[in-house]
Chains A and B, each alone.
Chain A
């Protein structure tokens, strides 16, 4: 089946630190991969995505590379800010030619950045 595993949180860093949140997946075929961010009390916002192997998604200083050989999509940022404090979800969307194409989410990683 399809599944996503994220590193367990919570993660606490100081401002300007380097961030890595690990994400690995299990899927048949060639899924699309996503990172979503959820700020307190809000819904999910798409942060970045990659649709095929070796693609790099990037947005707001965050990056993640679709690694098929290691089935990974780790999220990185070179210098975090207090405003990056949120919960981050890794997700995959199985490739089906038809159908609802449901997203499969990881368990989420809570990130707190201290000034």
Chain B
């Protein structure tokens, strides 16, 4: 079946530093990838939609200069949390839409802790 990987699975960083999270579709091509944020015991909040070769579309209230998204190829999207602060600590999940079937497949998530 379709597999989406995320790297790293967990990361701890200091306040003020930047962290990059990768999302890869391993066995299919994804023209569209989605980035979600999940707070403890809460639902997923869509942050942005990433389209291959173009700028990401951010949801209302999400700072695009803080959460940089790049979708450079049909199998890779990256989310960079710039100048991280403790309130950015969260579980970040990506999903990728198969360009052939339109089905979305989710990655395993990345837990970010900012100290």
A residues near B (Cβ < 8 Å) are 36, 41-46, 89, 93, 100-103, 105-108, 110
Contact = CB atoms under 8 A, between A and B. Distances in A.
Given A43-B106, A43-B107, A43-B109, 12 more contacts: A41-B109, A43-B93, A44-B95, A46-B103, A46-B105, A100-B32, A100-B57, A101-B97, A101-B102, A102-B34, A102-B49, A110-B41
Nearest to B51: A100
10 contacts: A41-B109, A43-B106, A46-B103, A100-B49, A101-B102, A103-B95, A103-B104, A107-B42, A107-B43, A108-B42
Tell me the dominant secondary structure on chain B's binding face: strand
Which residue, of B51, B102, B104, B109, has the highest number of chain A Cβ atoms within 10 A? B104
B58 to A, nearest CB: 12
A19 B106 CA distance: 25
Q: How large is the interface on B (under 10, 10 to 19, 20 to 34, 35 or more residues)?
A: 20 to 34
Contacts of B111: 41
Contacts, number: 47
B43 A105 contact: yes
B73 to A, nearest CB: 18
B55 to A, nearest CB: 13
Given A101-B102, A108-B43, A42 B108 contact: yes
Contacts of A36: 106
B72 interface: no
Nearest to A42: B108
B46 interface: yes
Contacts of B103: 46
A11 to B, nearest CB: 14
A45 B106 CA distance: 7
A42 B102 CA distance: 23
B56 to A, nearest CB: 11
A59 to B, nearest CB: 13
B44 interface: yes
B4 to A, nearest CB: 8
Contacts of A46: 103, 105-106
B34 A42 contact: no
